[in-house]
Amino acid sequence: AQKITQTQPGMFVQEKEAVTLDCTYDTSDPSYGLFWYKQPSSGEMIFLIYQGSYDQQNATEGRYSLNFQKARKSANLVISASQLGDSAMYFCAMRGGRDDKIIFGKGTRLHILP
């Protein structure tokens, strides 16, 4: 069965520092996709970044990068130069498997301190 684990329920980071949000996953399927979403207090889900299981390079999108370590089954999100507006809940998700489900981790609440 597929599983996503986010072990950091909450984090406090000083503004302008880099932050790493942890995500590990488990799947027996060789083809899968990994995603990160941001959820502000208003509730909407904002797509941040995607990594395919066959991608050789780590994905990057502006200040976001995904540190993909396939052998360790980890897909950590790195936010460089954090901003106050980065304060939100962050979810790691995985898509794949024969039934092509998309499942989410429990999330990490990030607080950026001024």
Partner 1 sequence: DGGITQSPKYLFRKEGQNVTLSCEQNLNHDAMYWYRQDPGQGLRLIYYSHIVNDFQKGDIAEGYSVSREKKESFPLTVTSAQKNPTAFYLCASSSNQPGQGTPGKPQHFGDGTRLSIL
Stretch that binds partner 1, among 15-23, 28-36, 62-70, 74-82 (CB under 8 A): 28-36
Written as six digits, the tokens of 54 are 């066959």
Written as six digits, the tokens of 68 are 């993909």
Pick between residue 16 and residue 54 the one whose CB is nearest to partner 1: 54
Upper half-sphere CA count for residue 16 (Cβ side, 13 Å): 1
> By C-alpha distance, which of 103, 105, 108 is closest to 2?
103
Q: Which of 43, 62, 85, 114 binds partner 1 (CB under 8 A)?
A: 43
Q: Which residues bind partner 1 (CB under 8 A)?
A: 6, 31-33, 35, 37, 43-45, 47, 50, 52-54, 91, 93, 95-96, 99-107, 109
